């Protein structure tokens, strides 16, 4: 099933309901692919609407694992899957080959991304931006295409307006829904959603939520994505950050609170960055299931 249809269909008993999706990443290359199967099985048992599988930042060579895991999610567990695909180190021929492989595996959904540019590189080879990859995949046909968006502005953008106008190009090129970068302050998301509506971006937007369960994780995330930390979150880190169990429980509770507020505000969907952690995903899904 194409994810676009999922958003259109909603739930027959509750047409306005929000979608719940998970994100997982393939094991490192020196770990066997089977090492993720136990976690996948537990995550799929939670029956999210779909699960997306990241594409290794290194680009080439990582695609097989993304397709293989996406196929397993769909065919072994009956959960719809989305394969991420970055264009930063893939040529048109590479994309053709990966698209063929996804088709062979009956994967109908792609999250089209540029990926982070390696140091010293200004621009990807055949596709400068995710919108170029989106346009190319739209032309190939047969896939539903999603795109990434940034409530706190993409770090390379000169300003928020440029970033939103660039996002419009991605949607015009064929992105049927958007998934946000993680954020910790819902007000930032609400303001962003209003601005996208003003810019004529009217596709569904899923809010990306990352439950933070340890101090090292948040330090990495803030460095990588530039997410800002609101005062309640900083207080929580200061108070519980040194106790792993307390930090885990507080991080889960914060994510649940964030999600409940987003659902109350009529968000189109919640995309949970699970970090392949079934315990955390279970706690959150069970807490919000009745509200979807």
Q: Tell me the helix, strand and coil percentages in the chain, rounded to 5.
A: 50, 15, 35
Least distance to ligand FAD from the beta carbon of 283, Å? Answer: 22
Could you tell me whether strands 50-53 and 19-24 are parallel, antiparallel, or unpaired per DSSP bridges? Answer: parallel
Binding residue for ligand FAD (CB under 6 A) from 115, 151, 241, 269? Answer: 115
Question: Considering only 2-10, 39-47, 95-103, 109-117, which stretch makes contact with ligand FAD by CB under 6 A?
Answer: 109-117
Q: Give every CB contact of residue 106 below 8 A, 6+ residues apart in sequence.
A: 71, 74, 75
Which lies closer to ligand FAD via its Cβ, residue 22 or residue 233? Answer: 22
- 136-175: which residues touch ligand FAD (CB under 6 A)? 148, 154, 156-157, 162-163, 166, 169-170
Helix (H, G, I), strand (E, B) or coil at 2: coil
Least distance to ligand FAD from the beta carbon of 240, Å? Answer: 27
Helix (H, G, I), strand (E, B) or coil at 292: coil
- The verdict on whether 23 is a catalytic residue reads yes
- Contact status: 129 vs ligand FAD (CB under 6 A): yes
Cβ atoms within 10 A of the Cβ of 266, count?
9
Least distance to ligand FAD from the beta carbon of 290, Å? Answer: 26
Choose, from 5, 8, 23, 125, the residue flagged as catalytic. 23
Which lies closer to ligand FAD via its Cβ, residue 248 or residue 271? Answer: 271
Helix (H, G, I), strand (E, B) or coil at 50: strand
- Contact status: 90 vs ligand FAD (CB under 6 A): no
Binding residue for ligand FAD (CB under 6 A) from 151, 174, 204, 208? Answer: 208
Residue 154: name the closest of 213, 194, 198, 113 by CA: 113
d(CA 101, CA 289): 34
Q: Taking phi first (over 0 means left), then psi (-120 to 50 degrees means alpha), and beta for anything else, what does residue 261 get?
A: alpha
- Contact status: 55 vs ligand FAD (CB under 6 A): yes
Summarize as ranges the residues that interact with ligand FAD (CB under 6 A): 54-55, 57, 84, 86, 113-116, 129-131, 148, 154, 156-157, 162-163, 166, 169-170, 179, 181, 208
Catalytic positions: 23
């Amino acid at each position: 099933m194409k994810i676009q249809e999922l958003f259109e269909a909603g739930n027959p008993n509750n047409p306005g309901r929000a979608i719940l999706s998970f994100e997982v990443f393939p094991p490192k290359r020196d770990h066997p692919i089977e090492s993720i199967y136990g976690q996948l099985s537990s995550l799929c048992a939670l029956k999210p609407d779909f699960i997306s599988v990241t594409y290794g930042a290194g680009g080439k060579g990582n695609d097989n694992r993304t397709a293989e895991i996406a196929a397993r999610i769909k065919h072994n567990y009956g959960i719809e899957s989305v394969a991420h695909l970055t264009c930063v180190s893939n040529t048109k021929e590479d994309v053709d080959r990966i698209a063929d492989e996804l088709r062979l595996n009956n994967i109908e959904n792609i999250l089209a991304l540029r990926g982070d540019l390696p140091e010293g590189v200004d621009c990807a080879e055949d596709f400068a931006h995710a919108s170029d990859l989106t346009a190319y995949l739209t032309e190939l046909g047969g896939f539903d295409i999603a795109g990434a968006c940034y409530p706190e502005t993409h770090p390379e953008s000169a300003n928020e307006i440029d970033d939103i106008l660039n996002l419009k190009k991605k949607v015009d090129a064929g992105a049927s829904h958007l998934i946000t970068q993680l954020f910790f302050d819902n007000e930032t998301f609400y303001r962003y959603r209003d601005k996208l509506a003003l810019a004529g971006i009217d596709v569904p937007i899923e809010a990306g939520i990352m439950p933070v369960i340890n101090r090292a994780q948040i330090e990495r995330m803030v460095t990588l994505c530039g997410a800002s930390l609101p005062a309640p979150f900083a207080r929580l880190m200061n108070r519980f950050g040194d106790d792993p169990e307390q930090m885990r429980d507080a991080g889960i509770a914060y994510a649940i609170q964030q999600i409940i507020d987003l659902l109350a505000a009529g968000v189109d969907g919640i995309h949970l960055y699970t970090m392949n952690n079934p315990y955390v995903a279970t706690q959150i899904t069970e807490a919000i299931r009745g509200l979807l």
